[in-house]
A and B are shown apart, each in its own frame.
Chain A
Amino acid sequence: MTTLDKPAPLALPAEPAGPADRPVRRELGVANVLSHGFLLFWGALTVLPLLWMFISSFKSNAEILADPWALPGALRFDNWARAWSGAHIGQYFLNSLVVVAGSVTLTMLMGATAAYVFARYEFRGKQVVYYLFVGGLMFPVFLALVPLFFVVRNAGLFGTWTGLILVYAAYSLPFTVFFLTAFFRTLPTAVAEAALVDGCGHFRLFFQVMLPMARPGLISVAIFNFLSHWNQFLLPQVLMQGDESKWVLAQGLAALSVNQGYAGDYAQLFAGLTIAVVPVLLVYILFQRQVQSGLTAGQLK
């Protein structure tokens, strides 16, 4: 009955043509070697530090000092154990998971509901409220930092995960609302009208019809928010001082790096960094299409 013209902001480059039509001409051989050279060089530049970190996480401190380029003499998983429990990286990892799970859920819920209202309903003052949200895109967080510290403290949320979750969500709303409003507007109205005629309530319409239709957009924004919350450093640094047991991963790693300067336990730092990197990279490699489009979609709009 309706053509679901699916919005396709997420188009990614198609796979290169297969080797079937192998050209005979070689006139561009030199250029190709050169271009592959550049591409390989940048690839190596990207991978090498990460590979080095991974390999060093198995080395002893003496080995790290002796020759940074050498391979480890043995796979010393005790470095990982030291980082996981000794430096509490495991604990911080779980803390981050809890905070980010809460903040992304809250952001998506609030962002989607607000965006839906902006996209689909008319009421007085709509433009003002919409631009209030979107205007937040222009402001640097630094400007708010000092008063935010006191707002959070006066609300009794200083040094709590609840505080972090609420603040992360609040600062993600401008982009989330902006993106999702545009997305909801692209969805066909006929479906919604048919549902209303059939006696579907406004709430049910949203949860059972509109949300499922908006799935691609929701996934993009959710990935975007997940990564930006997971990588947050400035806000926890200011709002989560003190109680170390509640720190998030970024804080724990920064502290580990500082301590390493005194204790000289380099292997522990590399192991800690590796523990933080590996899951993220694995998730990225598994879902790379979604991640790449989720992160670039925001800018292509």
Chain B
Amino acid sequence: MRHGKYPLIVTFLVPPVLLYVIFVVSPYLQAFQISTTDWLGYSPDANSVGLANFKTLWNDDYVWNALKNNAILLALVPVLTILLGLFFAAMLNMGGRKGRAGVSGVRGSSFYRTVYFFPQVLSVVIIALLWKEVYHPNKGLLTSALNSVGLAAPTWLGDPRTAFWCVLAVMIWSNVGFYVVLFGAAMSAIPKEIYEAVMLDGASRLATLWKVTIPLLWDTVQVAWVYLAIFALDGFILVQLMTNGGPNFSTDVIGVRMYDTAFGSETKFGYASAIGVVMFFLTLTVAVLALRASKRDRIEYS
């Protein structure tokens, strides 16, 4: 019955595979090879130097500094974003007064959800440029707000002590809304009967959230964790546009380091590819660890 399927398979599969192999697979493979050369870019000479790039990397203080910043982001951004996301999602979905039907959302919850999602549809470039203005030490929103109540404001992105935290805050600001919607969708998929049973047993709302909702949401939280961890290892656009790694490398991240090494004032393509390889293994490790650390038994509603 299925005769004549091969023309379709070939026409449907060959163009995507070609496109994918040329622009995705081959660059990835080449990257590993380039990372073992001393290639400086626009000339074709590249000598194989074995693992020398990785040795240099190991002793490169700038790379370590950037990695340290990524590590802080990795420790804070997922946790804070998920907590805020769960908190607001719980408010919106079950913060309302207990009616007879079980748990309901607060009034206006769909309005809040719409607004919270705004940052998700804006491009990261716009978010970066807008917040750069918000943080502006003279004409920015924050400084003049603090000044008007008689407080001295820091120079935000201009000060190595505050710049990093300012960038971190924007990362959380831009992500929370998405996870409110994501967790909210998962929460509304929890059968109402479960809540009715819990209510009959006289559980408080906090206990319900902590002991029932969050465990049932764990799959979604785990996915969020992996995505946010990968996000925290990147952060390139925000950092490049808001501070370009400065002041004094206080906001540098590994993506900016790699970009500058490859396409900045110098074009050390071999070395940059080595940084790329390190990023790859870091991303892989973090994804696997995040998946394993949060592993629990799957719960399925019958």
State the A residues within 8 Å of B (CB): 11-17, 19, 21, 23, 25, 28, 31-32, 35-36, 38-39, 42-43, 45-50, 52-53, 64-65, 67-69, 110-111, 113-114, 116-117, 121, 123, 129, 132-133, 136, 138-140, 142-149, 151-152, 155, 166-167, 169-171, 173-174, 177, 193, 196-197, 201-203, 206, 227, 230-231, 233-234, 238, 249-250, 253-254, 257, 266, 269-270, 273, 276-277, 280-281, 284-285, 288, 291-293, 295-296, 299-300
Contact = CB atoms under 8 A, between A and B. Distances in A.
A267 B167 CA distance: 24
A277 B16 contact: no
Given A114-B17, A123-B9, A132-B25, A273 B129 contact: yes
Contacts of B12: 113-114, 116-117, 206
B245 interface: no
Interface in B96-146: 96-101, 104-110, 112-126, 129-134, 138-141, 144-145
Given A132-B20, A146-B272, A151-B23, A253 B258 contact: no
Interface string B253-284: 00100110011000001001101110110011
Nearest to A197: B1
Interface in B74-112: 84, 87-88, 91-93, 95-101, 104-110, 112
A250 B125 contact: yes
Contacts of B109: 13, 16
Nearest to A177: B16
B299 interface: no
B148 interface: yes
A117 B284 contact: no
Contacts of A201: 4
Given A19-B107, A291-B117, 16 more contacts: A12-B184, A13-B188, A16-B107, A113-B13, A136-B20, A143-B276, A146-B272, A173-B19, A234-B237, A234-B259, A250-B125, A270-B133, A276-B126, A277-B122, A280-B121, A299-B224
- Residue from the set B122, B140, B227, B273 with the largest chain A CB neighbour count within 10 Å: B122
A117 B96 CA distance: 47
A276 B123 CA distance: 9
Given A49-B131, A143-B276, A202-B8, A166 B23 contact: yes
B287 A68 contact: no
Nearest to A205: B8
A263 to B, nearest CB: 15
Interface of B: 1-2, 4-9, 11-13, 15-17, 19-20, 22-28, 30-31, 34, 84, 87-88, 91-93, 95-101, 104-110, 112-126, 129-134, 138-141, 144-145, 148, 173, 176-178, 181-182, 184-189, 205, 220, 223-224, 227, 230, 233-234, 236-237, 241, 255, 258-259, 262-263, 269, 272-273, 275-277, 279-280, 283-284, 287
- Residue from the set B17, B118, B275, B279 with the largest chain A CB neighbour count within 10 Å: B118
A53 B133 CA distance: 9
Contacts of B176: 42
- Residue from the set B95, B124, B273 with the largest chain A CB neighbour count within 10 Å: B95
- Residue from the set A69, A170, A253, A291 with the largest chain B CB neighbour count within 10 Å: A170
Contacts of B11: 113, 203
Contacts of B24: 136, 144, 170-171, 173-174
30 contacts: A13-B93, A14-B188, A16-B109, A42-B116, A42-B176, A43-B116, A46-B115, A46-B118, A49-B130, A49-B131, A69-B141, A110-B15, A114-B12, A117-B9, A121-B9, A136-B24, A139-B28, A145-B272, A145-B276, A146-B273, A147-B26, A147-B28, A231-B122, A231-B123, A233-B123, A291-B117, A292-B181, A293-B185, A296-B178, A300-B185
A11 B124 contact: no
A149 B39 CA distance: 14
A81 B139 CA distance: 23
A143 B24 CA distance: 10
A68 B118 contact: no
